[in-house]
Amino acid sequence: MVSKAIDTIVFDLGGVLIDWQPAYVFLKEFRGNQNKMNEFLDTICAWEWNLNQDAGYPIADATRERIALYPEYERLIKMYYGRWEEMLGRAHKDTLAILSFLKHSTDYRLLALTNWSHETFPVAQKKFPWLEWFEGIVVSGQERIRKPDPEIYIRLIERYQIQANRAVFIDDNQDNVRAAQALGFHGIKFKDGHDLAQSLIQLGLNFPAELIKQIQDPLQQLDL
């Protein structure tokens, strides 16, 4: 049975357990104009630019270089990391409920592998004390390499002595899931807490009925 084989569950953080949205800051700055905000976030402070910092590039250098390219947006560019903590939303309550059950009611090893700047990750650790539930967290900014590069998964495997075929990897990015599967992990593309619970059940994990009922309620999605 698959349930007897699995002993480790690896979570992504942003998008799976933690809500993070630049819109929490920039929508107000663009006076509610979502199209203008999206244009700024698609071109000036683009996602690819942010990912560079997730791979360990210094925020100060990235900000200075972006301002040199787009000096007319200096105030807004400085705001991206200057007000980064305000972009950090709440925990996804349904996923957190699953994590809490696994931590306190089972013997599964719990690890995390996240694309996150090493400079901003301490802010999340301070805001979300439940991050201490993980046996270990591999942060891309600290490793100077990010998902889906196979090397960061290999570091996770070697650092924590994981047998990939006995581990589940959960991520909201399909490319990241495929990279884990290529190394032997059981991969789950995260959609929501209910879907995650059902996917884990299919792999042989058991959850109490009251937990399943709780995460079916969309009003339970977010919590502090």
Indicate the pTM of the whole model. Answer: 0.92
Q: Which two tokens stand for residue 185?
A: 């992990």
When the pLDDT of each residue in the chain is averaged and rounded to a whole number, the result is 93
Q: Which domain holds residue 99?
A: 2-19+90-223
Considering the domain architecture, whether residues 98 and 142 belong to the same structural domain is answered as yes
Considering the domain architecture, whether residues 211 and 131 belong to the same structural domain is answered as yes
pLDDT band at residue 210 using 50, 70 and 90 as cut-offs: confident
Considering the domain architecture, whether residues 143 and 170 belong to the same structural domain is answered as yes
The pLDDT tens digits of the residues spanning 140-167 come to 999 999 999 999 999 999 999 999 999 9
Q: How many residues comprise the chain?
A: 224
Is-contact 141 117, C-beta < 8 A?
Answer: yes
Considering the domain architecture, whether residues 53 and 83 belong to the same structural domain is answered as yes
Residues 197 and 155: their CA atoms lie apart, in Å, by 27
Considering the domain architecture, whether residues 142 and 154 belong to the same structural domain is answered as yes
The pLDDT tens digits of the residues spanning 53-98 come to 999 999 999 999 999 999 999 999 999 999 999 999 999 999 999 9
- 104 pLDDT exceeds 80? yes
Which residues have C-beta within 8 Å of that of residue 203, sequence separation ≥ 6?
Answer: 2, 3, 6, 168, 186
Considering the domain architecture, whether residues 94 and 165 belong to the same structural domain is answered as yes
Which CATH number characterizes residue 140's domain?
A: 3.40.50.1000
